[in-house]
Amino acid sequence: MATNRTFTMIKPDAVANGHIGAILNDIIAGGFKIVAMKYIQLNEETAGNFYGVHRERPFYGELVRFMTSGPIVAAILEKENAVEDFRTLIGATDPSKAVEGTIRNKYAKSIDANAVHGSDSDENAAIEGNFFFSMFERF
């Protein structure tokens, strides 16, 4: 995957609260093109693999429980400087610290149920995108 791409998930809280459409609007208005997208539910194995880097952190069990609690939207997004610009668009991990107007500021309730995921590096964007999408599922 080219380095002008990032990977996102609309997390179970935002899906359950009816924010899929509004979040996709914000993403598109932010200049991102959707190059792959699917609506799926993670299980313990897939969520555990995705968040494997956090396995030793105290919130890991709760994170896997939360991420498997309902469907998510997974997507690969394209834009120049995608990883950094998308992290700016979503705001800080803790929504109470997220800048006004960011996706987490508008749609997230807590540091764990924080509405969206955004890759933190080009390398992880490629790993995460490849985890969810085969080469036949992305443009």
Task: Quote the least distance from Cβ 67 to ligand UDP, whole Å.
Answer: 8
Task: Quote the least distance from Cβ 99 to ligand UDP, whole Å.
Answer: 13
Which CB atom, from 1 or from 12, has the smaller least distance to ligand UDP? 12
Which CB atom, from 1 or from 9, has the smaller least distance to ligand UDP? 9
Q: According to the binding rule CB under 6 A, does residue 93 interact with ligand UDP?
A: yes
**Alpha carbons 20 and 11: distance in angstroms, whole number:** 9
By CB under 6 A, the count of residues binding ligand UDP is: 8
What residues are paired with 76 via a beta bridge? 7, 36
What residues are paired with 124 via a beta bridge? none
Spatial CB neighbours of 94, under 8 Å, sequence gap ≥ 6: 111, 114
Among residues 78, 87, 74, which one has the least CA distance to residue 3?
78
The verdict on whether residue 59 carries a ligand-binding annotation is yes
CA distances from residue 103 to 34, 46, 99 in whole angstroms, order as listed: 17, 25, 9
Q: According to the binding rule CB under 6 A, does residue 120 interact with ligand UDP?
A: yes
Q: Which residues are annotated as a binding site for ATP?
A: 11, 59, 87, 93, 104, 114
Using CB under 6 A as the criterion, which residues of the chain lie in contact with ligand UDP when the complex forms? 59, 63, 93, 111-112, 114, 117, 120
Catalytic residues: 117
